[in-house]
Amino acid sequence: MPPALTRLKAIALPLLRDNIDTDELIPVSENTRVSMSGWGDGLFASKRYLDGVGRTLDPSFILNQAPFDQAGILIAGDNFGCGSSRESAVWALRDYGFRAVVATTFNETFQRNCIVNGVAPLAMSREDIESLAADVMRDPWREVCLDLNSGMLFRDGTADPGQAFAFRLDPFYCTLLTTGQTEDDLLETLRDAIDRRRDSLVSAAPWLRSGVLRKAEPE
């Protein structure tokens, strides 16, 4: 599990489109590695690089333009991460430097892959997403700040409460991200409580130990 994530302050990249799928995030042609790291140069490869010239950056693609080439937060629309379930899509985001994606909705499998790889999938309303993206485009060098514990996101240096946005993140997923734990780690911390509960149930209903319910006695 990557380091715990509680607060993040970073340049934001606005890609306010719906249905950005995993093939766009990491094309099939980039899925040639056998390791779980080193995927950053393959992120948006079909759009970042000029056709037929290897890794020559396409200056027209927003991720290749300053300051967006330093972004750590991605802003998108509906159904982000749809398509195949390839985990390498999240590895590419993470290895490039993104620790959070803000979108209106996420593909469920992609969202799960984000959590286990330390990337925060934060859901916001369409109205707030559009407002945030427009504000970023007006002043792209001003960083976006987010706090997972409070569930709030705001623009750095703003004192205007109207520039603060609430996001949604499942409380269990939030715990994993903010503690840097895996589900197995969290389960281990609950082992004693689970054992006590099991013993209590078996004591009250001994037949549970064998996993076989006794047949009711005939009247």
Distance between CA atoms of 88 and 90, rounded to whole angstroms? Answer: 5
1: in domain: no
What pLDDT was estimated at residue 53? Answer: 67
CATH number at residue 107: 3.20.19.10
92: in domain: yes
Distance between CA atoms of 126 and 78, rounded to whole angstroms? Answer: 8
CB contact at 8 A, 102 and 78: no
102: in domain: yes
119: in domain: yes
> Structure pTM?
0.85
* Angstrom distances, CA of residue 179 to CA of 96, 120, 211: 22, 13, 36
The number of folded domains in the chain is 1
What pLDDT was estimated at residue 190? Answer: 78
* pLDDT, tens digit only, all 219 positions of the chain: 678 999 999 999 999 999 999 999 999 999 988 888 999 999 999 999 998 667 899 999 999 999 999 999 999 999 999 999 999 999 999 999 999 999 999 999 999 999 999 999 999 999 999 999 999 999 999 999 999 999 999 987 665 555 789 999 999 999 999 998 877 777 777 788 888 888 888 888 877 676 544 554 555
Residue 107: which domain range?
7-179
19: in domain: yes
Nearest to 166, CA basis, from 99, 102, 73, 114: 102
Residue 27: is the preceding peptide bond cis (ω within 30°)?
no
Nearest to 104, CA basis, from 82, 83, 136: 82
